[in-house]
Structure 1
Amino acid sequence: MYFFKYQGLGNDFILIDNRSSSELLLSSGQILKMCNRHFGIGADGVIFLLSGDKVSDYGMHIFNSDGSEPEMCGNGIRCLISFISNLENFEQTNKIYRIKTLAGIIKAELQTQTQVRVEMGTPLFLNKQIPTTLSDKDNTVINYPLEIEKKNWLVTCVNMGNPHCITFVEDTNLINLEKLGPLFEYHSAFPERINTEFIEIVRPNHLKMRVWERGAGATLACGTGACASVVAGVITNRAERVCTVELPGGNLLIEWVEDSNKVYMTGSAERVFIGEYNQ
């Protein structure tokens, strides 16, 4: 099987062209083996490119490195658009693609062969939309105390196609991500687990972020997490609506448009290599 390796700010994915079949070309066991960084190719996840339908140009099916299926992935969809542009021999810039995901139809604009702007949709705030058992009096979770390791963390929960728990800290470098990440992800307050972002306010228009992704662990970048973090920063009066989000793998430009309530993400995606995998 031929595969294509892409990365978006260091968040790396194996891309499989699955348009020739209505069934996925890999089993869950094969996906786990491929993502293994010692005995496989190594990746944060596998993305299958599917054929489109009446409402979409293409479909996207993604698996995390542990075999779980997130609804959507911001860095992943940028990689997918770059992958599509290569399959189409990079016919034109400023082309809008409609991608069908488990989170609905996502529109993405190919600005250059390695730069993609994605319409990430509108944020959701109700506790049942996250989902979480935490709740303020208005059924949202904003600056809500969550006890972990005998410490109350003020958390804000946002769904950006997948669930996020954001907490603001003085210095992201002091966060023990490997220890705290699983404690947030598997906390009983999150029945479907959670992505967790630790955010440092450098300036109101510049956030620094470290992330623990549900099903993938510590990653160098998370597009939906960057979007959720800017939204959380705005509704808690910490950040502006247009922000640079600095991640370990690089920067994303995030804009939450007030009139439409839509969030836009702009960032890079690049092909790393092409290979042949013996199943």
Structure 2
Amino acid sequence: MQLPFVKMHGCGNDYIYFDCLKHTVPKPASLAKQLSDRHFGIGGDGIVLICPSSVAAARMRMYNADGSEGKMCGNAIRCVGKYLYDSGYCKKRQITVETASGIKTLQMQIAGSRAVGATVDMGPPVWRPEQIPVDLPGARVVGTPVKVGGRRYEITCLSMGNPHCVVFLPAVEQLDLVSLGRDFERSGLFPQGVNTEFVQVLGPDQLRMRVHERGSGETLACGTGACAAVCAAVAAGLCARNTEVQVQLRGGALTVRYAPETVYMTGPAEVAFTGTAEV
């Protein structure tokens, strides 16, 4: 069976997208593992299905490279919005997309006849430990000391539709993220796994971040992770509320604003190539 796909990315966070408004994709979890392999497959951080929705322009289902299904991806949802706009399914500057974390609203950035990016209303962060979830006491986990992999860290935990653990460090470029990310995943603190952000504060409106995502390992960018990093920085008094903060990632930059009622994330959406997959 042959299925057409579009390879898209937001700041290098790349997924293989299938139009399930026209086609049926069999066994998506197995397909994600097969196609995400960068040597024996197409290569990507996972696959995304663009599906029909009764409450929004479309529904996004995403599968990580290990086959696990994720709830939300800030970079992927911008690409879904681009696909819906460019393909003519929803030729509007405001597009809603249903996700496992609720309906998200995108304000599309248009250049000529194409969408080039979007600002996404990501919703408010969730701070309650049991709702993230993280196995630590208290009403919030902000700057909480823990021991992970034999070392002491101060962590801030929150959910932006999926669980995040933010660690502020003086420098992040030389970190062994494979090892560190594995240590946090296996720490026993996170019953559903975790995305771990290692963040360096460059200034009151600028952060540098590397991220180890559950199910995918280190990725070049993480939209929900960038949002989590800014929210954590605001909670720690390192950045100001309702201010645009640039988050520098290995694949590019995202702009995040932690507004009084929600979090807004702005970034690009780009097509890498199209093709047909044998499934």
TM-score greater than 0.5 by the shorter chain: yes
**SS class of match (1:174):** coil
Q: Does 1:32 align with 2:30?
A: no
- Map Cα deviations across residues 223-266 of structure 1 (whole Å, 9 max, x no partner): 000001100000110112320000000110100112xx200000
In the alignment, the residues of structure 1 paired with residue 123 and residue 91 of structure 2 have an alpha-carbon distance, to the nearest angstrom, of 26
Other-structure match for 1:42? 43
Structure-to-structure mapping, 1:49-128, within 5 angstroms: 49-53=50-54, 55-88=55-88, 91=91, 95-112=93-110, 113-128=115-130
Q: Does 1:169 align with 2:169?
A: yes
- Map Cα deviations across residues 163-222 of structure 1 (whole Å, 9 max, x no partner): 100010000113211110111123201000000000000001000000000111000000
**SS class of match (1:61):** strand
Shift of 1:99: 0.8
* 1:187/1:193 contact within 8 Å kept: no
Q: Does 1:255 align with 2:253?
A: no
In the alignment, the residues of structure 2 paired with residue 248 and residue 20 of structure 1 have an alpha-carbon distance, to the nearest angstrom, of 34
* 1:18/1:25 contact within 8 Å kept: no
Other-structure match for 1:133? 135
**SS class of match (1:200):** strand
Shift of 1:278: 1.4
In the alignment, the residues of structure 2 paired with residue 269 and residue 65 of structure 1 have an alpha-carbon distance, to the nearest angstrom, of 20
**SS class of match (1:212):** strand
Percent of aligned pairs with the same residue?
Answer: 37
Shift of 1:91: 3.9
Query: Number of residues paired by the alignment?
Result: 271
* 1:130/1:163 contact within 8 Å kept: yes
Relative to structure 1, is the Cα distance of residues 179 and 213 closer, same or farther in structure 2, using a 3 angstrom cutoff? Answer: same
Shift of 1:24: 4.1
Q: Which moved more, 1:144-153 or 1:102-111?
A: 144-153
- Map Cα deviations across residues 49-92 of structure 1 (whole Å, 9 max, x no partner): 01121x21111100000001111000010111111122118845
* 2:57/2:90 contact within 8 Å kept: no
- Map Cα deviations across residues 94-139 of structure 1 (whole Å, 9 max, x no partner): x111111100111111112111110000001000111011123xx2
**SS class of match (2:68):** coil
* 2:257/2:264 contact within 8 Å kept: yes
* 1:73/1:223 contact within 8 Å kept: yes
RMSD: 1.4
**SS class of match (1:142):** strand
Question: Structure 2 length normalisation: TM-score?
Answer: 0.94
In structure 2, which of residues 17, 20, 36 is the aligned counterpart of residue 18 of structure 1? 20
One-letter amino acid matched to 1:81: G
- Displacement over 2 Å in runs of 4+: 23-28, 89-92
Other-structure match for 1:276? 276
One-letter amino acid matched to 1:44: D
One-letter amino acid matched to 1:48: L
